[in-house]
Amino acid sequence: MNIDFSLRKQIALALNESFGADITPDSLSLQPTRKEFTGTYTFVTFPFLKISKMKPEETGEIIGKYLKTDLEIVKDYNVVKGFLNLQVSDRAWIEAFSSIIHNENHGFRPSNGRRIMVEYSSPNTNKPLHLGHLRNNFLGFTVSTIYEALGYDVVKAQIINDRGIHICKSMVAWIKYGYGETPESTGVKGDKLVGKYYVAFEKQFREEVSALVNSGLTMEEAEKKAPIMLEAIEMLRKWEAREAETYALWETMNKWVYRGFEITYDHMGVTFDKLYYESDTYLSGKKIVQAGLDKGVFFKKEDGSVWIDLSADGLDEKLLLRSDGTAVYMTQDIGTAIERFMEFPDLEKLVYTVGNEQDYHFNVLFLILKKLGYSWADGCHHLSYGMVDLPSGKMKSREGTVVDADDLMDEMEQTAKQHTQDLGKIEGFNEAQAAKLYRMVGLGALKYFLLKVDPRKRMLFNPEESIQFQGNTGPFIQYTYARISALLRRAKETGIGLIMNEEASPGELHAHEREVIYLLTQFEDRINEAAGEYSPAVITQYIYDLAKEYNKFYQEVSIFGEQDEAKKQFRVSFSYAVARTIKSGMEFLGIEVPERM
């Protein structure tokens, strides 16, 4: 039973029959009743006063009387300044709950035959993944699972930035300072070893620039003439020319990085369906640029570089090919987008999970694709997210600014271990079970905290706050699930089934039971909202509200002490429905929940 839709349907009938309107249920909306008023759903009458030709209060009274008379689900109503507050009957709540508990796929939709692609991670192969990559991966993966719940075929993709000047920097430094060392010879994870040489390059580059500035050059001149930078530029030219020795070194160092990334992704718990490599796609981008030149979409300057003029669109001129013919990021992004839609011609959306410092880049990319005549460009979306900051001194950092993803995940597990031991939540666990719980709680805390903030906002990640077992945290949700799981085990031991009979009725409901059932009925709506806003924060808030309200019920309402068997059975089923929904919601976020804690 869909209470929301039933109410909107009857309100539409009330408007049509009482005022001669032509209103459909889908054009109406309800909102939660404010806590200071009695009711569950509120209908705002103000937009319909032109139809009723009455005062807001009078319009509300007419609709309210109609609903109470003709609709059994409305127990009572009240009108406050044009806001019609509707109180739902217990019978309706119980019917709604019955439909939920008997639907194992509550909140999920069958396949709709529609396909989208979500790109996330997209690292450079010159350094290990860091804290920013964690937010990126968790956002992209969660948006993917949310769309899958709505019936979409989701292609989880990443573009690996495996070419360009930044990659050549690590290669030059390894040749100069590496003395042949490898991940095997050093015992260092491949991505971290390559990252070490990227740092070495930047250090030498800064020293050379400083010396050139001291000799009288400007900063801009010095950065262009620094010897080590000239070596990197020359290496990029050799790579694009497929010079054998340069290309072999590139392949070797990238393989080191890929093996390192695989370990990190496995630890994160994220996966991909499709991998794209810039070393492949930039070539197709260059072909598209030539085609754009032929069509007059792009233009060539005297030095041979290729540009597009977007000043008429409120932007500026954008470089597409350098004067030496080498590609820029925009070139390869154009080529990659076109390749994706050629490979998956039925793609409805292409979602790029990339930080907000690239907002301008994607505005330009989507506009260029439109100017090239690709109608699917309207289906491209930039899931823009803010940076993640840390309280100073809270975490170790390789250079004082970048926090290594592996180190952070390990440290979160150690923090979880300390907290769970201090709180005595591992009693009866063997060593392997305890280690699994520490990992579950540590990663759960990290993922939940990074996802509970609206993606568009810059955020402060506080590791100590994230691991608490109270408040809006992953461990609080996990503990609530474990608490319910213990209750359900006890129910099974005493012969109480988890799913009540469809005909059974517990009679009058407790206020907390009504509130929790209302939240359960909102699950699919929240999934829809999260998908529409590309915001896992909608799901985290929903799960927290559900867990918080259930805990109020748990503290105030007896379950096994209840003498009425129908009520006892209902409350066990009620608890099972909450646990099932919490588990589903946390799975969207890539977070495991423990059966005991």
**Each residue of 464-483: pLDDT tens digit?**
899 999 999 999 999 999 99
At position 486, the amino acid (one-letter code) is: A
Residue 526 burial (CB < 10 Å; 0-12/13-18/19+)?
buried
Looking at the chain, how many residues does it have? 597
Residue located via tokens 């059994």: 72
Is 117 in contact with 153 (CB distance < 8 Å)? no
For residue 268, pLDDT over 80 is answered with: yes
**Confidence (pLDDT) at 392:** 62
Range(s) within the chain of domains with CATH label 3.30.1360.70: 3-88
Q: Residues 97, 78: contact at Cβ < 8 Å?
A: no
The tens digit of pLDDT for each residue in 574-588 reads 999 999 999 999 999
| Residues above pLDDT 90, as percent of the chain | 86
pLDDT at residue number 282: 79
Q: Per-residue confidence at 395, pLDDT binned at 50, 70, 90? A: very low
Residues 496-510 have pLDDT tens digits of 999 988 777 888 999
Contact in structure between 391 and 380 (CB atoms under 8 Å): no
Q: Using the predicted structure, report yes or no on whether residue 61 has a pLDDT greater than 90.
A: yes
CA dihedral 246, 252, 256, 257 (to 10 degrees): 40
Helices then strands, counting H and E runs in the chain, come out as 22, 14
Domain covering 405-588, topology:
Isoleucyl-tRNA Synthetase; Domain 1 (1.10.730)
Q: Give the mean model confidence (pLDDT) for residues 80-108.
A: 94
For 336-349, how does the pLDDT look when each residue is reduced to its tens digit (9 = 90+)?
999 999 999 999 99
**Hey, what are 583's tokens?**
């588990």
Q: Which residue has the tokens 């993944």?
A: 129
Amino acid at 382: H
Q: Could you tell me the pLDDT band of residue 397, with boundaries at 50, 70 and 90? A: very low
Tell me the pLDDT tens digit for each residue of 151-193: 999 999 999 999 889 999 999 999 999 999 999 999 999 999 9
pLDDT of residue 393: 43
Query: Under CATH, which number does the domain 3-88 receive?
Result: 3.30.1360.70
Q: Is the pLDDT of residue 401 over 60?
A: no
pLDDT on residue 273: 97
Mean pLDDT computed over 437-457 = 96
pLDDT score of 414 more than 50: yes
Residues 6 or more apart in contact with residue 322 via CB below 8 angstroms: 305, 328
* pLDDT (0 to 100) of residue 400: 42
Q: How far is CA 330 from CA 96, 360, 380, in A?
A: 51, 11, 15
**pLDDT interval class at 394 (50, 70, 90):** very low
Average pLDDT over residues 106-122: 96
pTM over 0.85: yes
> What residues have CB less than 8 Å from 391, skipping those under 6 apart?
460, 462
pLDDT in tens, 537-555: 999 999 999 999 999 999 9
Q: What is the mean pLDDT of residues 121-126?
A: 93
- Determine the Cα–Cα distance for residues 528 and 147; give it in Å rounded to an integer: 9
Q: Are 306 and 300 in contact (CB under 8 A)?
A: yes
With H, G, I as helix, E, B as strand and everything else as coil, classify residue 412: helix
**Distance from C-alpha of 585 to C-alpha of 233, rounded to nearest angstrom:** 48
DSSP string covering 36-49? TSS-SEEEE-GGGH
Q: Where in the chain is the domain with CATH 1.10.730.10?
A: 405-588
Q: Is the pLDDT of residue 556 over 70?
A: yes
Tens-place pLDDT, residues 185-205: 999 999 999 999 999 999 999
Average pLDDT over residues 411-418: 93
Confidence of residue 399 (pLDDT cuts 50, 70, 90): very low
